[in-house]
Amino acid sequence: MKIPHLKYQILFIFLIHAVAFAQEKSPRDLALIDNGWHFAFGHLNDTDKDFNHGTAYFSYLSKTGNGDGPASKLFDDRAWRLLDLPHDWAVEQPFNEKGSFSHGFKEAGKGFPEKSIGWYRKKIDIPASDLGQVISLKFDGVFRNSKVWFNGHFLGTEESGYNGFEYDVTPYINYGGENTIAVRVDASMEEGWFYEGAGIYRHVYLQKTNPLHISTNGTSITTEIEKDFATVLSSVTIENKGHYKGLIAVTYTILDSNGKQAGTFTEKVIAPEFYKKAVYSSRIKVYNPKLWDVDDPNLYSLIVEINQENQLIDLHKTEFGIRSIRFDAEEGFFLNGKSLKLKGSNNHQNHAGVGTAIPDELQYFRIKKLKEMGSNAYRCSHYPPTPELLEACDRLGMLVIDETRLMGVNDLHLENLKKLIERDRNHPSIICWSVGNEEWNIEGNSTGERITTTMQDYVKSIDPTRPVTVGISSGFRSGISSVVEIMGYNYMGNGDIDAHRNDFKHQPGMGTEEGSTFATRGIYFTDDAKHYKSTYDKKPRPSFFSIEEGWKFYATRPYLAGMFIWTGFDYRGEPTPYGWPSVTSYFGMMDICGFPKDNVFYLKSWWGNEPVLHLLPHWNLDGMEGKEIDVWAYSNCEEVELFLNKKSLGKKKMEQYGHLEWKVAYQPGTLEAVGYKNGKKILSSTRKTSGKPEKIKLTPHQKILEKKDGIAVVTVEVVDNNGWHVPTTNNEITFDIKGGGKIIGVGNGDPTSHEKDKFIDTITSVALKNLEEQALDNSLLLQQLPVFNENNWKQAFEKRDYKNPAPAYVYRASFDLNTLSKKDAFTFFYQKIGIDAAVFLNGKMIAPSSADAQAYLLDAEDLNEGTNTLHIIATPIKKVNDWDVVNTNPGIIQVLKHAEPWKRKLFNGLAQIIIQTDGSGKPIVLSATAKDLKAGSIHLDVKHSVFPKLN
């Protein structure tokens, strides 16, 4: 055998080590259980419509395991809708003027008792071999006020719509069989003044660990950077839910981003006692560390292993970064010792088409869009974010202010704050904890001062490495702002920032909110009747400031660490200044799809590193011939010259953080800007009057989907016969998808659009009425219905002598179909009211479905519009014990109305459609058609590779 060169030998050894680590089977298992949930609406105040839940003689609070209605494991949910999480039921609803302004006028939640309670149920098999493990259900977030049952056992209530929570289900498990999870979600109350969605809108996991294991969020990592090494200080909380007593070895291993070991430490310790926790810690030196930075977000990982008697019993991985942060009262923010101005945006987590149920890859899409704008910071206004958002910020290099929901010092507030910090503290992206926002009742007074002091100290008791801020909108120089560690100025118009700073010279500060400007993407002339706001950067209100005014203020004051614009993206709700029929906000630098408004290019010019030259408006101003148009250029070039149809309209000097303006008499053709640096032309940019709309063009943000739940965000536009974008079209486009994908949402960024975000099948349940019976004198299950004596029908199961029943019974029930469409699908989900049964629809015998022996697919030809009759002939179920409960509910009829094809109008030339793989690995073809336009289509490849998740 040829001996490889020494360099390759070493590489080979490294690789073996990395592979060995990656292959080490973690004894813990974290399985995503997002797929295959049954869903139905309950009711806020009509118990009947809430499946009679909570009415049992012995309730689930009286006796453990007594969950009733859908909370019972015996409940039949087959007629419910089947869906995958994450799910936001609010986004699926139509718009309604009676809806909530802040939640974007969706017909859900507050004010809609029939759409404010959602029930979710899922069955999971747990093998007998899992006996002895600790098994828990982990929810990343449910909006809101959720109650959870496992096999009928009530596990608890989580009121917050933003907390992650976990329930131990170990003792309630049916090992080697089926188990039922039931969740009741009550979204009747709002926590915020912005769209919050409704339902299980984040991931759910089933976690299995050894009884002795690392606690959830039990790892804490901080780093200290020295000259040529960094000290990584980690602590780990280990809990014992078993009876093991004795020594355990805790090993901490740091791997670099290539999986190469960068340091390790092992310690033998005494395991904590039964149901106790203990914290252990380590200090590991990493030499020549590669720092985490916004431009090069290098990550390390810490693997903590527990070995018990030489057997690996837990392994947990946490990603972290080595970096230093500092806020300085004179010089602003420092990352790794270098001054860095925070160029931030505030954002709510919702997006076109999907609402708050944001697929993981969409989080990355959105953070990348913000980075493209030149942004380096993100404020999670005003609640704990989805974990994947922070993962995206870590991996893409985006600094984060992580914010809790509500200020106060009681368990409600402090426990929630603690959960947030413990969950998020290892993300290198997080540079600051925010303990509140615009708390108008307390901002400027001593109550605010006292609460802030306590919350701030409480934060420090958990994480001493990051400072605390509050977004403050009034009462600068008093109350909260006199004690908060980092002053968070919400709007220059709300107070004198320089005056505050003069009073509090030792307090660093930043603009936690600025802007709140109004703009509609693609609109250049304000039209209040149409709720259109022009996108030229203007003061939104007399006491507020344009983006340019805001940035000039913050950029020129070194003592201010930076500014966070309200907002990066438009979001549902808060359609200020218009209100209904507008349903989304106007504040975004981008619309709700992530299509840039022109301000993005102002920011790109002064926030980014690339040369920028952008002209507004577009040059398809049909009917404006000869009229004077404001032409603006956003650029970081030193000079810009404007040409219309090759004729120069003058060269202008760019002021720092400014923009340039010309008045131009409109004529169609080509508007061109040429940018100069040091007198040399460095780039140009044109706006051309396009021809007629010709063809639909589809452009996915990625062509290969590699994740099992991967997405493609597809831009839909119309081009003319030169292939030029037409910026004024509003054609309605219809979509069709084939292969291994599904469409999960459509949008177009129009704040006034009331088109559907989602096209989903509608499922309704029709109850059976007037259940009656007649006793039969033999147990023959007839093939044909005889004529029964009308006088012999009596209410079914009434005063039945279960000890001496008749040989068989015939039951009769009716159900009404107000409308009957032959395109719909009808299913009778039968529940056994006898041992054997023969079922007849409107007198005709029907056969059970091949997939489910207790379900009958009803042929629309056999159904009547109006009343229908079911007969069931069945042999009776006998009671063994007097207290046995015999089912008397024969089931329910499900009507499934197929969704119409997905469609959306373009808004000013653009729409967006989001596609997700269905996990089959098959390629996807999306096609789009519209009247008078040539169709467009794209092909997406799907290459799933599986990355096991360790934590």
DSSP 351: B
**Nearer to ligand GAL (CB atom), residue 148 or residue 565:** 565
Alpha-carbon distances of 107 from 98, 111, 302, 586, 747, rounded to whole Å = 8, 8, 46, 21, 18
Strands 212-225 and 146-150: unpaired
Shortest reach from residue 438's CB to ligand GAL, in Å: 4
Structure letter (DSSP) for residue 876:
P
Q: Which chain residues interact with ligand GAL by CB under 6 A?
A: 193, 381-382, 437-438, 473, 490, 513, 516, 566, 574
Q: Which amino acid, 33?
A: I
Nearer to ligand GAL, 239 or 513 (CB): 513
Secondary structure in 3-state letters for 891-949: EEEEEEECCCCCEEECECCEEEEEEEECCCCCCEEEEEECCCCECEEEEEEECCCCCCC
Hey, how many other C-beta atoms are within 10 angstroms of the C-beta on 542?
Answer: 6
Give the whole-angstrom CA distance, residue 320 versus residue 289: 12
In angstroms, give the least distance from the CB of 512 to ligand GAL.
8
Torsion of CA 570, 576, 578, 579, to 10 degrees: 90
Please report how close the Cβ of residue 491 comes to ligand GAL at its closest, in angstroms: 7
How would you class 850 by CB atoms within 10 Å of its CB: exposed for 0-12, middle for 13-18, buried for 19 or more? Answer: exposed
Contact (Cβ atoms closer than 8 angstroms) between residue 613 and residue 683 = yes
Instruction: Let me know: does 661 contact 619? Beta carbons within 8 Å.
Output: no
Whether 583 and 570 have beta carbons less than 8 Å apart is answered as no
Rounded Cα distance between 82 and 40, Å, is: 9
CB of 584 or CB of 916, closer to ligand GAL? 584
Q: Which two tokens stand for residue 246?
A: 């004795």
Greatest distance between any 2 Cα atoms in the chain: 105
The least CB distance from residue 744 to ligand GAL, in Å, is 27
Q: Min. distance of Cβ 127 from ligand GAL in angstroms?
A: 48
Choice between 28 and 382, CB closer to ligand GAL: 382
In terms of CB distance, is 167 or 491 closer to ligand GAL? 491
Place of tokens 């044909």: 784
Give 566 or 607: the residue with its C-beta nearer to ligand GAL: 566
| Residue written as token pair 């039990």 | 218
- Shortest Å, Cβ 401 to ligand GAL: 13
Contacts of residue 207, defined as CB under 8 A and 6 or more positions apart, other chains included, come to 28, 29, 30, 31, 135, 136, 137, 138, 166, 216
How many angstroms separate the CA atoms of 935 and 736, rounded? 11
Nearest-approach distance from CB 381 to ligand GAL, in angstroms: 6
Radius of gyration for the chain, computed over Cα atoms and rounded to the nearest angstrom? 32
User: 362 vs 470, which CB is nearer to ligand GAL?
Assistant: 470
Distance, C-alpha 911 to centroid of its chain: 21
| DSSP H or E segment with residue 565 | strand 560-566
Marked catalytic residue, from 403, 513, 548, 694: 513
Q: For the chain, how far is it from start to end, CA to CA, in angstroms?
A: 41
Based on CB atoms, which residue is closest to ligand GAL, 237 or 437?
437
Q: 154-158, long-range: CB within 8 Å, 24+ apart, which pairs? A: 154/60, 154/61, 154/64, 154/67, 154/71
State in angstroms the smallest separation of the CB of 346 from ligand GAL.
Answer: 7
92, 388, 403, 438: which is the annotated catalytic residue?
A: 438
Min dist CB 160 to ligand GAL, Å, is 18
Tokens of 822: 């032959």
CB closest to ligand GAL, residue no: 516
Dihedral sign for Cα 136, 141, 147, 151, please: negative
> Nearest CA to 439 among 506, 382, 385?
382
Instruction: Give least dist CB 101 to ligand GAL, A.
Output: 11
Q: How far apart are CA 354 and CA 351, in angstroms?
A: 6
User: Are 377 and 562 in contact, with CB atoms under 8 Å apart?
Assistant: yes
- In the residue annotation, 443 being an active-site residue is answered as no
Q: Tell me whether residue 574 is one of the annotated catalytic residues.
A: no
Q: Which stretches of 777-846 are assigned E, i.e. beta strand?
A: 794-795, 808-817, 825-830, 837-841, 844-846
Q: Least separation, in Å, of the C-beta of 891 and ligand GAL?
A: 48
H/E segment holding residue 675: strand 670-677
732 SS3 class: strand
- In one-letter notation, the amino acid at residue 141 is G
Residues 6+ apart with CB under 8 A from 846: 828, 839, 840, 856, 858, 859, 862
Tell me whether residue 275 or residue 440 sits nearer to ligand GAL (CB atom): 440
- Enumerate the β-bridge partners of residue 514: 565
**Distance of alpha carbon 646 from alpha carbon 674, whole angstroms:** 11
What's the CA gap between 815 and 810, in Å, rounded?
17
CB of 356 to ligand GAL, least distance (A): 16
Tokens read off for 262: 């960068």
CB of 507 to ligand GAL, least distance (A): 20
Find all residues with CB under 8 Å of 111, minimum gap 6, and list them.
Answer: 98, 99, 100
Q: Of 154 and 566, which CB lies nearer to ligand GAL in the complex structure? A: 566
Query: Which residues are annotated as catalytic?
Result: 438, 513
